[in-house]
A and B are shown apart, each in its own frame.
Chain A
Amino acid sequence: MSTPEAFQLSLGPLTGVAFGPDRTEVAISPNNNEVQIYKKAGETWDLQQTLSEHDKLITAISWAPQTNRIVTCSQDRNAYVWTHTAQGWKPALVLLRINRAATCVKWSPKEDKFAVGSGARTIAVCSFDEENNWWVSKHIKKPLRSTVLSIDWHPNNVLLAAGTAESKAYVFSAFIKNIDSKPEPTVWGERVPFGTICGEFSSPAGGWVHDVAFSPSGDILGFVAHDSSVNLVYPSSPGAPPQALISLRTSALPYLSLTFVSENTIVAAGHDCQPVLFSGDESGWAMSTSLDSKSAAGKPAAGGRVVSGSGGGPGRLNSDAFNAFKTADSRGQARPASSAGSASGGIEVGADGLLLTVHQNSITHIEAYEWGSGGSVSKVVTAGKDGRLVIWDVAGKK
């Protein structure tokens, strides 16, 4: 097993992560109103450019791989589409028409539209209006009653999944006339005018839904919720109850993000600070393994391996004295905790006061990073509140 590559891009949380078309560039927001674009240079990531147009915290970033455009959304209720020109990235304002913060954004697979979830109980599906030369939005309002926390597109460019704070995951149609051609019938529905509800699923113990994801074929919907559950939905036919709704009540802390590696495997990560692989099919799913192998236990996980970005990180200051001060500051401990890991899913702390996992805080984002020859995902990337970006090998894991 190759060791995960870890990069310290910021001292604080990363609040939006999106990779460029060839995966050597990444756009992140260091928990403020700016987007930073880093380029990979050998072993490090170097800051290339800072995009500042938003005036409040940026909540999500999405980068379209084919058309090379970035869309950012923020708590200032705006979204900007950034196009690359000879003078750098140029923003274009999107008319979102929402009265609360935008929480998540994602380009559709064909990159001709994107969806923005918001605290205004609305999903704004945005497309480009040629006549007026700007981005306009259409709203999905019903039956949303609370903040939309996550969205994901079906590969057919029409269906959209959303996870909400009312502990439900939905599948909607985001069909827009003049842009989309009539989609092929899927297991989710045949006729799908804009706003059709193609599915509505609850988490088992009332947890709000942190993240939703479609499988590569689009025939399975996965979602993770704050009740530590991992749920997978296999729809049967439109209007009928799903063929299988598998809810795993896991023993770990809640997962914040998930992504499909294949039709039978997902990777989920969250407050446990480590990505975990789940596998199964419609008869049942189970946790299989953690990507952060505990064989690293004993040596300070990642401590010595973390490569600082050009911004400089604690990697440079990773001395005993610094760590002692840091634990005293952040955990109120006069001395670093002894390496007594708590039982049953608790997070283990090493002798130096650092977690034994590579990530030192909750993982908030996970996505596929590299694909193998057969189109299967071979590497995934995670980012978290510790400001680290970590690339993990998943090829051949089940």
Chain B
Amino acid sequence: MAEYAFRKIDIDALDEDTLLREDLVEPDPRGPDGVLADAKRKSGEVRTAVAQNNIAGALAAILSDPPYGADVDEARALTISALQLILNSTRSSEIAATLKNLTPEQQDHLMSYLYKGMAGLGSKSGAGGEVSGSVLLTWHEKLTEVAGVGCIVRVMTDRRTL
């Protein structure tokens, strides 16, 4: 494979003005503290809404302006656990109707969390620890039916990782 070795050369090594990964993402205007306060408030809202069986409202709340980027680990953990609560307490017959009411942006965010959940499945303390693979797959199947493969492509391109 020697003829491909040149592909691993860092051609930007001597270039001062290189584009870094961070440059491609604009930081959240709310700042880390604002994001955390927001996540706490939404996580509370979700618990109330789920208790009242208002899944659509809960999902819409948690998927609006989710935390992204660096320095928001706590807010991210809160959001994920609130979302897992929703995923686990929705009857599978209601999923499709719930998804149709989401905006395309919210659908993209949900897809992103589903993949994140799948990534965490293997590890015991991972992000997907509290939700089973079959639940994730059911949501994934229904979401793909509603939002199409475009939604999956957007999860892969978006550098604002949730």
Residues of A that sit less than 8 Å from B by CB: 145-146, 166-167, 204-208, 225-229, 249-254, 343-346
Contact A205 B23 (CB under 8 A): no
Question: B149: which of A166, A206, A346 is its contact (CB, 8 Å)?
Answer: A346
Q: Residue B23 contacts which of A145, A204, A343, A344 (CB distance < 8 angstroms)?
A: A145
Q: Chain B interface secondary structure, helix, strand, loop or mixed?
A: helix
CB-CB under 8 A from B160, the residues of chain A are 206
Interchain CA distance A206-B159 in the complex, whole Å: 6
Residues on B with beta carbons closer than 8 Å to the beta carbon of A228: 149-150, 153-154
Contact with A along B134-160 (1 / 0, CB 8 A): 000000000011111111011001111
B19 touches A (CB below 8 Å): yes
- When C-beta atoms are compared, the residue in chain B nearest to A250 turns out to be B150
B105 at the interface (CB under 8 A from A): yes
Per-residue CB contact flags for chain B residues 8-20 toward chain A (1 = under 8 Å, else 0) read 0000000001010
Number of B interface residues in the complex (CB < 8 A):
22
CB distance from B149 to the nearest CB of A (A): 5
Residue of B19, B23, B153 touching A227 (CB-CB under 8 A): B153
Asked if B24 contacts A167 (CB within 8 A), the reply is yes
In the complex, the answer to whether A206 meets B151 with C-beta atoms within 8 Å is no
- Chain B residues with CB below 8 A from A343, complex form: 144-145
Interchain CA distance A257-B148 in the complex, whole Å? 20
> What's the least CB distance linking B137 to chain A, in Å?
15
User: CA–CA, A225 to B158, complex, Å?
Assistant: 11
Supposing A146-B19, A250-B150 touch, asked if A227 and B157 sit within 8 A by C-beta, the answer is: yes
Do A251 and B158 form a contact, CB below 8 Å, given A166-B24, A206-B24, A344-B145? no
Which A-B residue pairs are the 4 nearest by beta carbons? Answer: A251-B148, A228-B150, A345-B148, A205-B154
CB–CB B153/A226 < 8 A = yes
Q: A136 vs B144: C-alpha distance in the bound complex, in angstroms? A: 51
Please indicate the chain B residues that have their CB under 8 angstroms from the CB of A146 in the complex.
19
Chain B residues lying within 8 Å of A253, measured Cβ to Cβ, are 149-150, 153
Q: Determine if B126 is an interface residue (Cβ-Cβ < 8 Å).
A: no
Residue pair B154, A227 in contact (C-beta under 8 Å) = yes
Is the beta-carbon distance between A249 and B154 smaller than 8 angstroms? yes
In Å, the complex CA distance between A167 and B156 comes to 13
In angstroms, Cα B146 to Cα A251, docked, is 8
